[in-house]
RNA sequence: GCACCCGUAGCUCAACUGGAUAGAGCAUUGGUCUUCGGAACCAACGGUUGGGGGUUCGAAUCCCUCCGGGUGUACCA
């Protein structure tokens, strides 16, 4: 129909010409013209069967690595390490990790970098709190906990109305002064900063291990700090930045607010350190792309620094802000953690998810097999609980706000991780009982037969894996993958319902259906794996 | 004020970026049921895609304009 526009002919007439001129082999029957000019092809059973045999032998499930790999730096998670991680860090971490896995699988080169907030105002609060309110014994026993307490305690001493930016706040001023001293290289504050860091890093690492998230680099703001003066000087000497009201700023269009490179008090801003990071990454990695998996409230910031980078001549990589919506509470209001009363840390949240998954397992789980030891039960609860948290987030279009809901997240019905994991476990159970494995099947793949409609629907869906992966990667949208999984598992359920495998009418269709089960299980495991979610053999 | 994002079934969300009769899950109602794993399956109900104009073979999608929500907006990061 797009052709019709160019050719200036009615779509159906173009379709008829196409059909008449089309040579087709054994892959599909003569296409039918439908509706305003659609062409409907019908794959032949033989062709589908051949593709599935091929897929069965292929470790990559017929998804070829891309011909021209890109090199992507993916900047995600980036928590402020001065306080424990909370739900707000979840989306960036989970989305960024899933995108990293996806691009790697497609054959791209991926460099993950966690741009920690380890040099900002919040450290001023820790320094101030440590100097004025610390509990030495508590700090010795559990430095992370004590630092977290200090953060909240300092925060509570700030004036209530932060909208009133005219009035100066003595505590806030003191915190700023501590940061300024740190940035100026004050020995005492530098030493304290160094002593805080190991505990802060250990704290976030524990969460990353549990989430199964890894970074190639962890280069926080402090890493770029020595480069900032040079960056700022360069921007001024090239005329990109100018002085205004005592600060160094970059101006944009009439209606656009300026970007601050250097504040009136001489301190640099995060725009400066982000620019330093761009320059450094271009030089160090020479990437084709830099992705910033950061929530949409930063949209203006990224628009500005991307524009500055362009003027600055840093144009060798495509810079993309992969934005996502805020995490909202069940009251549909943003979850606030600044006041410290938000309570749940990310770790407590994960504990709760795992606990609830364990409860469900105990009441619904594989009871005819009481031989599953406690350690395995714990591992299952962990995989299902963490998977539920990740999947709930990833299955939603990233641009919309995300309503955090225990009920939705841990529901074991519908489009959830547990449902996929369950479909996987069912496949595996059948294969186990049949005494076959992926290895034995792919050594000599039994002939695949596509007789039943449910088999046909399942076959077609399996063969669309590559399409789903590329669609998800093209727009950085993992929810395309969850949608694919959901459709696949529904097709599998229909197949499972109408096509007995172990009790198949004859050995040939039994073997064929075992191949389908194996392919479904491998596809689910692969795609869940790309989302950072584990499968379990039983649940 | 200005800028960006969003508005789709009662609720939470999709719709392959302009294609066929706008689809799923919850919820509700009815059914399947001696489980190759019931954490299952099948079906029904539910819509003027916020309103109104426009562009064309064709619009949830693109343009204009209202209405309603969210976010950001010079010294936090």
| Residue A7 scores a pLDDT above 80 | no
Tell me how crowded residue A280 is: count the other CB atoms within 10 A of its CB: 15
Q: Would you give the DSSP letter of residue A403?
A: E
pLDDT in tens, A267-303: 899 999 999 999 999 999 999 999 999 999 999 999 9
- Section A349-378 average pLDDT: 78
Q: What are phi and psi of A448, to 5 degrees?
A: -90, 130
For position A259, what pLDDT does the model report?
Answer: 95
Which has the closest alpha carbon to A324: A10, A52, A77?
A77
Q: Would you give the DSSP letter of residue A71?
A: E
User: Would you report the helix, strand and coil content of chain A in percent, each value rounded to 5?
Assistant: 55, 10, 35
Q: What are phi and psi of A271, to 5 degrees?
A: -65, -40
Instruction: Report how far residue A368's alpha carbon sits from residue A92's, in angstroms, rounded to the nearest whole number.
Output: 40
Q: Is the CB of A411 under 7 A from strand B?
A: yes
Integer-rounded Cα Rg, in Å, for chain A is: 28
Q: Would you give the DSSP letter of residue A248?
A: E
Instruction: Report how far residue A534's alpha carbon sits from residue A383's, in angstroms, rounded to the nearest whole number.
Output: 6
- Kindly give the pairing relationship between strand A318-324 and strand A327-328: unpaired
3-state SS assignment for residue A294:
strand
Instruction: Report how far residue A420's alpha carbon sits from residue A412's, in angstroms, rounded to the nearest whole number.
Output: 10
Spanning CA of A174 to C1' of B5, the rounded length in angstroms is 37
- Kindly give the pairing relationship between strand A318-324 and strand A32-34: unpaired
User: Which strand (E) or helix (H) includes residue A113?
Assistant: strand A109-113
pLDDT in tens, A296-327: 999 999 999 999 999 999 999 999 999 998 88
Spanning CA of A420 to C1' of B41, the rounded length in angstroms is 16
Which has the closest alpha carbon to A393: A96, A81, A83, A72?
A96
The structure tokens listed for A375 are 């350690």
pLDDT in tens, A239-264: 999 999 999 999 998 788 999 999 99
CB A250 within 8 A of CB A240: yes
Q: Is the CB of A297 under 7 A from strand B?
A: yes
The nucleotide whose C1' lies nearest the CA of A477 is B16
Q: Is the CB of A209 under 7 A from strand B?
A: no
Q: What are phi and psi of A98, to 5 degrees?
A: -65, -45
Spanning CA of A247 to C1' of B48, the rounded length in angstroms is 55
Of A161-165, A210-214, A361-365, give the lowest mean pLDDT range: A161-165
For position A367, what pLDDT does the model report?
Answer: 53
| Span between the terminal Cα atoms of chain A, in Å | 49
pLDDT in tens, A154-172: 888 876 544 444 456 788 8
Query: Could you please report the per-residue DSSP string of A160-224?
Result: S-TT--SS--HHHHHHHHHHHHHHTT-HHHHHHHHHHHHHHHHHHHHHHHHHT---SB---HHHH
Spanning CA of A5 to C1' of B63, the rounded length in angstroms is 20
For position A370, what pLDDT does the model report?
Answer: 60
For position A170, what pLDDT does the model report?
Answer: 82
Which has the closest alpha carbon to A388: A362, A361, A354?
A354
For position A162, what pLDDT does the model report?
Answer: 46
Spanning CA of A6 to C1' of B59, the rounded length in angstroms is 20
> Please, where are the H alpha helices in A218-314?
221-224, 228-237, 270-285, 299-311
Spanning CA of A395 to C1' of B68, the rounded length in angstroms is 27
Nucleotides of B strand lying within 7 Å of any protein CB atom? 2-6, 12-17, 19-21, 24-27, 36-42, 57-58, 70-77
Instruction: Report how far residue A328's alpha carbon sits from residue A38's, in angstroms, rounded to the nearest whole number.
Output: 42
Q: Which long-range contacts (CB under 8 A, 24 or more apart) does A135-138 make?
A: none
The nucleotide whose C1' lies nearest the CA of A400 is B6
The nucleotide whose C1' lies nearest the CA of A120 is B77
% of residues, chain A, pLDDT over 70 = 93
Query: Could you please report the per-residue DSSP string of A328-359?
Result: E-TTSSBPP-TTSTT---HHHHHHHHHHHHHH
Q: Is the CB of A400 under 7 A from strand B?
A: yes
Write b or e for each residue in A167-203: b if 16 or more Cβ atoms lie within 10 A of its Cβ, otherwise e. Answer: eebebbebbbebbbbbbeeeeebeebbeebbebbbeb
Spanning CA of A477 to C1' of B14, the rounded length in angstroms is 13
Spanning CA of A88 to C1' of B52, the rounded length in angstroms is 40
Spanning CA of A433 to C1' of B42, the rounded length in angstroms is 27
Of A100-104, A162-166, A256-260, A400-404, give the lowest mean pLDDT range: A162-166
Average pLDDT, rounded, for chain A: 88
CB contact set of A251 (below 8 Å; sequence gap of 6+)? A242, A244, A258
% of residues, chain A, pLDDT over 90 = 55
The structure tokens listed for A326 are 């805020």
- List of A residues 85-104 with CB within 7 A of strand B: none
Which has the closest alpha carbon to A345: A72, A76, A86?
A86
Tell me how crowded residue A254 is: count the other CB atoms within 10 A of its CB: 5
Q: What are phi and psi of A323, to 5 degrees?
A: -85, 155
Which has the closest alpha carbon to A530: A479, A487, A490, A488?
A479
> Please, where are the H alpha helices in A80-142?
90-105, 121-133, 136-141
A207 to A302, A314, A368, A381: CA distances (angstroms)? 27, 35, 34, 17
Q: Is the CB of A258 under 7 A from strand B?
A: yes
The nucleotide whose C1' lies nearest the CA of A123 is B77
Spanning CA of A223 to C1' of B4, the rounded length in angstroms is 31
Tell me how crowded residue A293 is: count the other CB atoms within 10 A of its CB: 27
Q: Is the CB of A263 under 7 A from strand B?
A: yes
Q: Is the CB of A453 under 7 A from strand B?
A: no
Q: Is the CB of A324 under 7 A from strand B?
A: no
Length of chain A: 539
pLDDT in tens, A20-50: 877 767 778 777 887 777 888 888 889 999 9
The nucleotide whose C1' lies nearest the CA of A416 is B25
Tell me how crowded residue A159 is: count the other CB atoms within 10 A of its CB: 12
Q: Is the CB of A270 under 7 A from strand B?
A: yes
How high is the ipTM of this complex?
A: 0.92
Q: Would you give the DSSP letter of residue A267?
A: -
Of A211-220, A233-242, A344-353, A401-410, give the lowest mean pLDDT range: A401-410
Q: Give how far the C-alpha of residue A323 lies from the chain's centroid of Cα atoms, to the nearest Å.
A: 11
């Amino acid at each position: 129909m797009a052709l019709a526009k160019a050719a200036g002919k009615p779509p159906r007439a173009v379709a008829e010409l196409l059909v008449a001129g089309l040579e087709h082999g054994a892959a599909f029957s003569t296409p039918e013209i439908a509706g305003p000019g659609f062409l409907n092809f019908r794959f032949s059973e033989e062709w589908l069967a051949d593709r599935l045999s091929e897929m069965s032998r292929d470790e990559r499930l017929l998804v070829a690595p891309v011909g021209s790999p890109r090199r992507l730096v993916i900047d995600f998670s980036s928590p402020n390490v001065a306080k424990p991680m909370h739900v707000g860090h979840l989306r960036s971490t989970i989305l960024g990790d899933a995108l990293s896995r996806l691009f790697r699988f497609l054959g791209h080169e991926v460099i993950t970098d966690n741009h920690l907030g380890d040099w900002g105002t919040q450290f001023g609060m820790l320094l101030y709190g440590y100097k004025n309110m610390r509990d030495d014994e508590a700090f010795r026993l559990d430095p992370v906990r004590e630092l977290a307490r200090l953060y909240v305690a300092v925060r509570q001493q700030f004036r209530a109305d932060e909208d009133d930016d005219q009035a100066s706040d003595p505590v806030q001023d003191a915190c700023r002064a501590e940061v300024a001293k740190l940035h100026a290289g004050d020995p005492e504050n530098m030493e304290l900063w160094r002593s805080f860091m190991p505990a802060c890093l250990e704290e976030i690492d524990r969460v990353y291990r549990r989430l199964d998230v890894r970074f190639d680099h962890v280069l926080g703001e402090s890493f770029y700090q020595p480069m900032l003066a040079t960056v700022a000087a360069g921007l001024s000497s090239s005329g990109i930045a100018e002085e205004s009201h005592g600060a160094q700023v970059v101006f944009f269009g009439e209606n656009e607010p300026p970007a601050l490179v250097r504040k009136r008090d001489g301190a640099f801003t995060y725009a400066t350190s982000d620019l330093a990071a761009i320059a450094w990454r271009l030089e160090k990695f020479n990437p084709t792309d830099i992705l910033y998996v950061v929530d949409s409230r930063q949209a203006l910031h990224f628009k500005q620094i991307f524009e500055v980078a362009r003027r600055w001549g840093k144009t060798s990589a495509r810079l993309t802000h992969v934005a996502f919506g805020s995490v909202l509470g069940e009251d549909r209001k943003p979850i606030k953690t600044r006041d410290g009363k938000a309570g749940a840390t990310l770790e407590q949240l994960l504990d709760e998810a795992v606990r609830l998954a364990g409860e469900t397992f105990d009441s619904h789980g594989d009871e005819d097999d009481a031989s599953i030891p406690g350690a395995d039960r714990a591992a299952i609860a962990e995989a299902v609980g963490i998977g539920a948290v990740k999947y709930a987030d990833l299955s939603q279009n990233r641009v919309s706000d995300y309503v955090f809901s225990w009920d939705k997240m841990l529901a074991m019905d519908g489009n959830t991780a547990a449902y996929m994991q369950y479909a996987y476990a069912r496949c595996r159970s059948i294969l186990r009982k049949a005494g076959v494995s992926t290895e034995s099947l792919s050594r000599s793949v039994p002939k695949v037969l596509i007789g039943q409609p449910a088999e046909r629907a399942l076959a077609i869906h399996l063969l669309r894996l590559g399409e789903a992966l590329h669609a998800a990667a093209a727009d950085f949208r993992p929810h395309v993958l969850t949608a694919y999984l959901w459709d696949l598992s529904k097709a599998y359920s229909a197949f499972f319902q109408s096509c007995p495998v172990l009790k198949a009418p004859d050995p040939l269709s039994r073997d064929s259906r075992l191949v389908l089960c194996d392919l479904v299980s491998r596809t689910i495991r692969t795609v869940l794996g790309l989302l950072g979610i584990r499968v379990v053999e039983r649940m």
